[in-house]
Copies of this chain bind each other. A is one copy, B any other.
Amino acid sequence: MGFIEAKKEILFSAMKTDYKRFGKTELDSMGILFKQNFINSLSGYKSVNLVGTVNKDKIPNLAIFNSIFHVGSNPPLIGMLSRPAVVPRHTLLNIKDIGYYTLNHIKPHFFSRAHQTAAKYNDNQSEFDVVGLKHFFSDDFPAPYVHESSVKIGLQLVEEYTVKSNGTVLIIGEVVEVILPGKAILSDGLIDLGFTETITGSGLDTYYTTSKIARLSHPRIDKDLDIIG
């Protein structure tokens, strides 16, 4: 089978690096902060988004979340985890009170303001105002979007689970509104995350831009892959 990357291959065994093994004993004996950094970066890149909500007094709230993930396209569902120790609980309370929230992609020109939303502000302070991002309300949606974000997603809460092992709350929302640049949408529906300048993250504090390697054709057992974008 002919693979696209074959020519570039460097064998693992030829790499001049030392591999370390961590078993359960070594993982259990890691210091708490070391372990937090290590495990938070272990699962790879994260989808970082700003989550916009309002509380019962209609004060807008904005918080960065880094555990956002695709759940399904039909119905359109996106999941996120709320870990009380890392992000303010205000967001989770607001989502449960109001039933609606927004996800907003982060661009390089406001990544540090996005990061700053994780500081522990009081419930009566809008993180939009404190960090200097503008909120934007569409005509038909009760939660605030981030004006500066290229991709704005309005969600309705549909399911909630509590992870038994650590009490983390898993929220699943149905996408009911999307606002994004028309030019970012390719002819077959894929959103070009390069055009939208969407960034990604690692751990709790590290942010990255991306460069496309390639878009590949649908894999089939009897056909070589093609680069399609």
Give 10 nearest A-B pairs by CB, closest first: A37-B189, A34-B189, A44-B47, A39-B73, A208-B210, A38-B189, A45-B200, A119-B219, A72-B166, A41-B191
The minimal Cβ–Cβ distance linking A191 to chain B, given in whole angstroms, is: 4
Residues in chain B near residue A5, CB distance under 8 A: 108-113
A152 to chain B, nearest CB (A): 9
Q: Among residues 86 to 108 in chain A, which have CB atoms less than 8 Å away from a CB atom of chain B?
A: 103, 105, 108
Q: Which one of B30, B174, B188 lies within 8 Å of A189 (CB-CB)?
A: B30
Residues of B within 8 A of A24 (CB): 176-177
Complex interface residues of chain A between 194 and 229 (CB less than 8 A to chain B)? 198-200, 202-203, 205-221, 225, 228-229
Q: How far is the CB of A52 from chain B (nearest CB, A)?
A: 15
B71 near A181 (CB under 8 angstroms)? no
B120 near A221 with CB under 8 A, answer yes
- Per-residue interface assignment for chain A, residues 13 to 38, with 1 indicating a CB less than 8 Å from any chain B CB and 0 otherwise: 10101111111100100111111111
Chain A: residues with CB nearer than 8 A to chain B? Answer: 1, 3-5, 8-13, 15, 17-24, 27, 30-49, 66-79, 81, 83, 103, 105, 108-113, 115-121, 130-132, 134, 138, 140, 147-151, 153, 158-159, 161, 163-166, 168, 170, 172, 174-183, 185-186, 188-191, 193, 198-200, 202-203, 205-221, 225, 228-229
Enumerate 28 A-B pairs (CB-CB under 8 Å) in ascending A order: A5-B110, A10-B109, A12-B148, A19-B179, A22-B179, A37-B188, A38-B73, A38-B189, A38-B191, A40-B190, A41-B191, A42-B70, A42-B175, A42-B178, A43-B49, A66-B70, A67-B70, A72-B83, A116-B225, A119-B219, A190-B202, A191-B202, A191-B203, A203-B215, A205-B228, A207-B213, A207-B214, A209-B213
Chain B residues in 8 Å Cβ range of A164:
159
Q: Is the CB of B208 within 8 A of A212?
A: yes
Are B78 and A23 within 8 A (Cβ)? Answer: no
Bound Cα distance A117, B3 (Å):
12
